[in-house]
A and B are shown apart, each in its own frame.
Chain A
């Protein structure tokens, strides 16, 4: 049950969600900042750990596990009382929990990328990619806002890690210059997320790691 855990993460990346999950379950873990700005994610050392050259990557007793959604599910399986997901009593409920993770990972995240890092989707002009990204993000924000009109958190009265995954996705579209103000329930959801101690601890950890190395970037 007790594992040796080490997370590779990047500054402001989707690893904020993974860090929040680790903080939430209270597992002891090491965390190592990967400086994208220095190309560390494409270095031979890191590619030996994760050939995809992406974060997050969690080392479990030295064995790599990639993909945010898979790491969150693994942590939930190891720490079932950790509060990452509501208790599920059927395969159907488990599948619905997976469905929302796949939705965020396969739709939201690539859409956010189009807004925040449009060069990830084109070799040419970025403005039209950002414009399309804005349309795609609007569509999923509408969906989320509609759901949040009926309840505080995605699954109901209780926070789950899915809420922080949504939070990461929409605030990153804002970093990409996208205006979130039309979505009122999302504004409320955002404030609720930002008040969470587990999220605050994750952000503090990320910031401390960044501060310790940022002068290397000159």
Chain B
């Protein structure tokens, strides 16, 4: 692997991708896509990722879209980085993949209903946010139960799934979801935020913001 570049925005789900790149110790460049200015729809960005989404990872000039696919790719390329625990068999490996699907296809769209309800309606966003709250609640309830007996999603060791789950629940919180009924998740949040790869990802986001002289105000 020679040349890697990540398109991202601080605070967006690309924070998980940055955390993975940092955990892998990968050498990469990055560029901010100003979603608040609609830059994902610009002809320049559409030429890079026609889906108009971040994250998008460019490897030797070719694009890979979808956060979970990028995490899987990095896991295959950097096995020593332990983005996931080593699976014992094919079924366990498939269950890790299933966790990525659950986070990307159930969690993320439900969180979007809270954080950006207008993405799901041309009408009253509050009715979508309320539905989002109903959808997020059972997902967090399951996570709360899982974390009652172990510090991390898979047990004793951090994995990138912890970061992905963290991004989802902290984003739901930004969308007015009340996390206070979930004490185990509150502890998990502290652990995830103390992880060195997360800290480096935040520093990398800050450096990217500084390089463009700050983020524009949200319209």
User: B142 contacts A65, CB within 8 Å?
Assistant: no
> Using Cβ atoms and an 8 Å threshold, which residues of chain A touch B122?
128, 131-132, 135
Q: B64 interface residue, CB < 8 Å from A? A: yes
List residues of B (180-200) whose CB comes within 8 Å of A's CBs.
Answer: none
> Using Cβ atoms and an 8 Å threshold, which residues of chain A touch B81?
none
How far does the Cβ of B69 sit from chain A's closest Cβ, in whole Å? 4
Q: Which secondary structure characterizes the binding site on chain A? A: helix
How far does the Cβ of A50 sit from chain B's closest Cβ, in whole Å? 11
Q: How far is the CA of A204 from the CA of B101 in the complex (A)?
A: 28
Q: A4 interface residue, CB < 8 Å from B? A: no
User: B76 contacts A63, CB within 8 Å?
Assistant: no
Q: How far is the CA of A99 from the CA of B131 in the complex (A)?
A: 28
Task: Please count how many residues in chain A sit with their CB below 8 Å of the partner chain's CB atoms.
Answer: 47
Contact partner of A77 (CB less than 8 A), chosen from B69, B90, B95, B130, is B90
Contact partner of A74 (CB less than 8 A), chosen from B68, B90, B134, is B90
Known: A105-B101, A121-B121, A123-B127. 17 other contacts (CB 8 A): A67-B101, A74-B90, A74-B91, A77-B90, A95-B69, A95-B73, A99-B65, A99-B69, A103-B66, A109-B105, A122-B120, A123-B130, A124-B123, A129-B123, A132-B119, A135-B122, A143-B50
How far does the Cβ of A188 sit from chain B's closest Cβ, in whole Å? 21
User: A129 contacts B120, CB within 8 Å?
Assistant: yes
Segment touching A, from B15-23, B26-34, B106-114, B168-176: B106-114
Task: Please count how many residues in chain B sit with their CB below 8 Å of the partner chain's CB atoms.
Answer: 43
User: Quick one: given A91-B77, A122-B128, are A74 and B64 in contact (CB under 8 Å)?
Assistant: no
List residues of B (119-143) whose CB comes within 8 Å of A's CBs.
Answer: 119-124, 127-128, 130-131, 134, 142
Q: How far is the CA of A140 from the CA of B52 in the complex (A)?
A: 11
> Using Cβ atoms and an 8 Å threshold, which residues of chain A touch B131?
120-123
> Using Cβ atoms and an 8 Å threshold, which residues of chain B touch A77?
90, 93-94
How far does the Cβ of A38 sit from chain B's closest Cβ, in whole Å? 21
Q: How far is the CA of A21 from the CA of B68 in the complex (A)?
A: 22
User: A67 contacts B105, CB within 8 Å?
Assistant: yes
Contact partner of B97 (CB less than 8 A), chosen from A70, A103, A124, is A70
How far does the Cβ of B45 sit from chain A's closest Cβ, in whole Å? 14
| Most-contacted residue by chain B among A120, A127, A131 (CB, 10 A) | A120
Taken residue by residue from 141 to 178, chain B's Cβ proximity to chain A (1 for < 8 Å, 0 otherwise) reads as 01000000000000000000000000000000000000
Q: A18 interface residue, CB < 8 Å from B? A: no
List residues of A (114-152) whose CB comes within 8 Å of B's CBs.
Answer: 114, 120-125, 127-129, 131-133, 135, 140, 143, 146
List residues of B (45-89) whose CB comes within 8 Å of A's CBs.
Answer: 50-51, 59, 62, 64-70, 72-73, 76-77
Q: How far is the CA of A105 from the CA of B103 in the complex (A)?
A: 11
> Using Cβ atoms and an 8 Å threshold, which residues of chain B touch A63?
91
User: B66 contacts A128, CB within 8 Å?
Assistant: no
How far does the Cβ of B106 sit from chain A's closest Cβ, in whole Å? 7
